[in-house]
Structure formats: structure tokens, C-alpha cells
Amino acid sequence: MKKQAFSVVAFAAAGALMLAAASLPEPAHTEWPMWGGTPDRNMYSSMKGIPSTWEVKSKQNIKWVAELGSQSYGNPVVASGMVFVGTNNEAMYDKEIKGDRGILLAFRETDGQFLWQAVHDKLPQGRANDWPFQGICSSPLVEDGIVYYVSNRGELMAVDAQGFRDGKNNGPYTEEKLTREVDVDIIWRYDMMEELGVLQHNMANSSPVASGDLIFVSTSNGQDESHVNVPSPRAPSIIAVNKKDGTLAWEHNPVGENILHGQWSSPAVAQVGDLVQVVIGQGDGWVRGYDALKGEMLWEFDMNPKDSVWPKTRNEVISTPVIYENVVYVANGQDPEHGEGVGHLYAIDATKRGDITESGRIWHYADIRRSISTGALYDGILFYPDFSGFLHALDIKTGKAFWKHDMFAAIWGSPIVIDGRVYLGDEDGDIAVMAADRTFKLLAENNMASSVYSTPVPANATLFLNNRNQLFAIGDAKSADRSPADPRALLTRWASR
Ligand SMILES: [Ca+2]
Ligand SMILES: [Ca+2]
């Protein structure tokens, strides 16, 4: 009898666990249409069939490789049968366009065929606002056949995923000078420098996220090259723009002159209690939550100890927050050029209001170094890396570490959990594959032949991953026929929308 009762309980517990795992939000269908896959930015997918081993040299489990520019800080997204990634112009897909530019490339998902590109001239003022050769650093959002991203010139762009390949110049914007099949078809653009007086420090990089009719981005407004002055203290930190026509819906500037350096965090969106919130790290090192619809600030949380001093112990927030069941998980850190240092990781109760630095702190994990990464949550475990090369696996309820793994190289990208395994890349170009478990287990290590600053993302049983200068589609090459239809086949569907 006792034994039977136990097995019933065990069965119920297993059922609850399965439900908990199944209830993690994940990308609809089989695409990866934005940074984090879903607006809550949790780096998680239950997708099956992604390999844990591959080899660049012998092409084992490599479906295709596409050349990117010489530096690629954008992260790929996969939607509408295409892969979109930001880079610079060093691959020169269009031989007529020479010199340094910000480039967004669109490839066919099935075979890596180049389809079209968006070209953005560099700003004349150079490194102050648009660092040479860094290209486009924003990871796009693709929704309803429209690609949203932030250019190296501080513009929020909405462009047609089909470009001019659909034979139509989609508007309201129809002033494109180049309208060949390989050119970008702009739908609208919102110039944050022109409209809001934003002066981004070194680079505008925000990865857009949407809720309803609104798109949210960080402006990246920051200090000037003196690293003392904020030349445009009245420019907002975060904006919401109307999807349909690219007009400003709301803006907020809680930081003024208190920007420590730049503003390079990207926003996350999720339902928290009875409101949809947008949550982001801002230039004074605080994380803030907003009513997504109205733009009203709901709460703010100081990520730094009050006695910390910039830049030695006080940090900015570059990581993207992850929202899960009313809780925000985020770490702080600094520009990689500043090297290593102390960091802080928090679980924040986003249902609280006002200054919630004390009231909203669920736990604080201090055994982390500076981090610019986004976390991955799965089965009660938070995987969070730091720039010093450690991956921490924590209990999401207590913030206590299950384990810590040393990658022996700087980590710029983020961990992602796919089908019970954690994938994480490092500056040495290694992708470690580990069990997403309370006990550490290294399953494989795969070298990409060049530094990995990005995060591998899954779509249609394939892993898409870029190192500094190449984009890889990793998967069982024999299963290529399971991939989605050629985008040309989709043209008729779009043409009739
Ligand atoms: Ca078009
Ligand atoms: Ca157009």
C-alpha cells in the first residue's frame, strides 16, 4: 500500500515536471524569429534532432556554410524560410558596393544561398557613434514577413523579408534608389539620431521585441569619446514605435546625465501579473520595468552595491533580461574592452512597484564575474555565463549554485538549452555541449575555427551559428529534405496578403 502510494506520488510529480517543462514559452512552429526565440528572451527550445557533435573541417553534420563579413556581432534569426544576420561589408556580396558598411544579409534557409542585403553607410563622425567594421550588431525580429532591426546609424528599420524578390516595392517608404533582387525593400525607418537627438556610444545595437502593435528598442544613447560627458542627456533610453507606420508611441529617459558609458541592453517582454511589461537594463546600471502599452515606469532595481565605484566595481547592464513567471533574471558587466571584474546576478520580483532594489530582490548571486550574456532557464535551473569564462548553473528558486564550469576562454554569447542540452560558445571558437542537468556533464566540444561571439539558435532541426566571419547550418545533411519550402514557393502567399 505504502509502495503504491509512493508510485502515485512519483507519477504525479513526473507529470508536474513534464507540465512545467511543456509550459516554458518557446517559439511558435519551428522558427527562431528573434533574439531569445520568444519575447521573454529565455534561451530555450524543446526542438529535437539537433546534433551535439559536428566538425567544420570534415563537414560532418555541416549542411552549409555562408561567408559573412570580417566581424559579425549580430546573432542570426530564422523565419519565413530565411536566415538573417548582421555583419560588415567585407564579404562583398554586391561587388559594386565597396568599403566599410553596416550589412544585414538574408540567406535561403535550405542551402545558404544569398538572397538580398540591406546596406547602411557608416556615419561620418566615425568611432564616436559608429565603430569601424563592427557592422550591424542588432539581432532582427521577424514578424508577419517584416524584418525589424537597428542599423549602425541608429535607425530602427522595418523591411520586407522578401525584399524586391516579390516584384513589389512595399511602403509607405518607396524611395529606394536600388531596387534589384539583391536590394533591401524598406517599409519604414525611424531615425533615432534625427528624431530624438540620440548619440549612441560607439554603436547602436538593440535587438527589437514586440507586443501587440508596438516595437521596443533601446536607443543606445551614451557618453561621448571623453568618457565624461553625456552630450545628449535629454534623449530617451527606451522607445516604443508603432509597427504599422514607424511613428513614436512612447519614450522614457530615467537616466539623463547618469549614463556610466553606453546603453547596450536589449528589451524583454512578458505578461507579469495583469500587465504586459517591457524590461531593460539602462545606462545608470539599473534595470527597469514598464507598462508596455502606456510606457509608464512600474519599477526600478539598482544592480550595483551602493558603495561601488565606476569602473572598478560599478557595472553597466549589457545583458538582456529574461522574464519567467513574474521574475526577471539578469546580470551586470562591462564593455569587453574593459576586461574582467566583479559582477552581480539577481532574481527580481517584477510584481513589485517603485524602487524595488530591496523589496524586489528574491536572491543575489555574487559568485559571478562581469557578464554580457543572457540566461537560459530550464527545469528549475538557470544557466548563466560570465565574461571570465565560467558557466554557472543555479537553482532558480534559491540562487544557489549546482555547479560551475570553466570554459578557459571569454564568453560573449549566451547559453541555449535545446532538447535537454546546453550549448555555449567562447572566444576560442569552442562550442561546449553539456547536459542541462543539476550535475555537470560535458557531452561534446566542437571547434568553429574562429572566435564565437554569438549564440547558436535552432530552427527546423538545424542549428544556426556564426563565428566572426562565417555562418554555419549544422544538422544531419541527409535530413535536408525535411527543411521548409523554398522561399520562392512562399512568394505567392505573400503576394496575396
Ligand atoms: Ca517587396
Ligand atoms: Ca519600400
76 CA → ligand 1 middle, Å:
21
- What is the 165 CA–ligand 1 centroid distance (Å)? 6
Which one of the ligands is nearest to 174 CA?
Answer: 2
Could you report the per-residue pLDDT of 20-42, keeping only the tens digit for each? 444 787 776 689 999 999 999 99
Say what the pLDDT of residue 28 is: 65
Higher per-residue pLDDT: 446 or 7:
446
For ligand 1, the distance from its centroid to the CA atom of residue 225, given in whole angstroms, is: 39
pLDDT (tens digit per residue) in 261-300: 999 999 999 999 999 999 999 999 999 999 999 999 999 9
Q: How far is the CA of 96 from the centre of ligand 1 (A)?
A: 22
**How close is the Cα of 360 to the center of ligand 1, in Å?**
47
Portion of the chain with pLDDT greater than 70, in percent: 91
Q: Report the C-alpha gap between 368 and 333 in whole angstroms.
A: 10
pLDDT digits (tens, 9 = 90+) for 356-367: 999 999 999 999
Going from the Cα of 170 to the center of ligand 2, the distance in angstroms, rounded, reads 4
pLDDT number for residue 479: 53
- For residue 186, the ligand closest to its alpha carbon is 2
How much distance in Å is there from the Cα of 245 to the middle of ligand 2? 12
pLDDT at 13 over 70: no
CA 170 to ligand 1 centroid distance, Å: 5
Strands (DSSP E) contained in 350-425 are: 354-355, 361-365, 376-378, 381-385, 390-395, 401-406, 416-418, 421-425
Higher-pLDDT residue of 64, 15:
64
Share of the chain above pLDDT 90, in %: 90
Distance from the CA of 456 to the center of ligand 1, in angstroms?
29
* Of the candidates 371, 288, 357, 277, the residue with the CA atom closest to the CA atom of residue 40: 277
Residue type, 233: P
Which tens digit of pLDDT belongs to each residue from 67-109?
999 999 999 999 999 999 999 999 999 999 999 999 999 999 9
Ligand nearest to the CA of 118: 2
Integer Cα distance of 54 and 419 in angstroms: 17
Q: What is the pLDDT of residue 27?
A: 75
Distance 179 CA to ligand 2 centre (A): 9
Q: Which ligand is nearest to the CA of 172?
A: 2
Q: Which ligand is nearest to the CA of 163?
A: 1
Q: Residue 491 CA: which ligand is closest?
A: 1
Q: How far is the CA of 106 from the centre of ligand 2 (A)?
A: 16
Instruction: Identify the nearest ligand to the CA of 187 by its number.
Output: 2
Whole-number Å distance, alpha carbon 426 to ligand 2 midpoint, is 38
Looking at the predicted structure, is the pLDDT value of residue 191 above 50?
yes
Closest CA to 36 of 28, 26, 46: 26
Q: Hey, what amino acid is at 241?
A: V
Alpha carbon of 177 to ligand 2 centroid (Å):
10
Asked if residue 165 has pLDDT above 50, the reply is yes
Q: Which letter, b or e, does each residue of 219-256 get, where b requires 16 or more Cβ atoms within 10 Å of its Cβ? A: bbbbbeeeeeebbbeebbbbbbbebeebeebbbbbbbe
> What is the structure's pLDDT at 80?
95
Q: Give 187 Cα–ligand 2 centroid separation in angstroms.
A: 5
Say how many Å lie between the CA of residue 177 and the centre of ligand 1: 14
Question: Could you report how far apart the first and last alpha carbons of the chain are, in Å?
Answer: 62
Q: What is the 235 CA–ligand 2 centroid distance (Å)?
A: 28
CB 464 within 8 A of CB 472: yes
For the CA of 162, the nearest ligand: 1
Can you tell me the distance from the alpha carbon of 230 to that of 5, in angstroms, rounded to the nearest whole number? 66
Mean residue pLDDT of the chain comes to 92
CA of 176 to the centre of ligand 1 (A): 11
Counting ligands in written order, the one closest to the CA of 164 is 1
172 CA → ligand 2 middle, Å = 7
Residue 168 Cα, ligand 2 centroid: separation in angstroms? Answer: 8
Euclidean distance between CA atoms 280 and 265, whole angstroms: 6
**How many residues make up the chain in this entry?**
497
Q: What is the distance between the alpha carbons of residues 291 and 249, in angstroms, rounded to a whole number?
A: 13
- Which ligand is nearest the CA of 165, by number? 1
Q: Which ligand is nearest to the CA of 173?
A: 2
CA of 493 to the centre of ligand 1 (A): 13
Distance 217 CA to ligand 1 centre (A): 24
Q: What is the DSSP string of 140-163?
A: PEEETTEEEEE-TTSEEEEEETTT
With cut-offs at 50, 70 and 90, classify the pLDDT of residue 478: low
Q: What is the pLDDT of residues 402-433, one digit of tens each?
A: 999 999 999 999 999 999 999 999 999 999 99
The ligand whose atoms approach the alpha carbon of 497 most closely is 1
Distance from the alpha carbon of residue 267 to the mean position of ligand 2, in angstroms: 27
What band does 472 get if pLDDT is binned at 50, 70 and 90?
very high
148 alpha carbon to ligand 2 midpoint, in Å? 14
| Closest by CA position to 83, among listed 422, 484, 373 | 484
Q: Read off the pLDDT of residues 294-351 as tens digits, 9 standing for 90 and up.
A: 999 999 999 999 999 999 999 999 999 999 999 999 999 999 999 999 999 999 999 9
292: CA distance to ligand 2 center in Å? 28
Q: State phi, psi for 477 to the nearest 5 degrees.
A: -60, -30
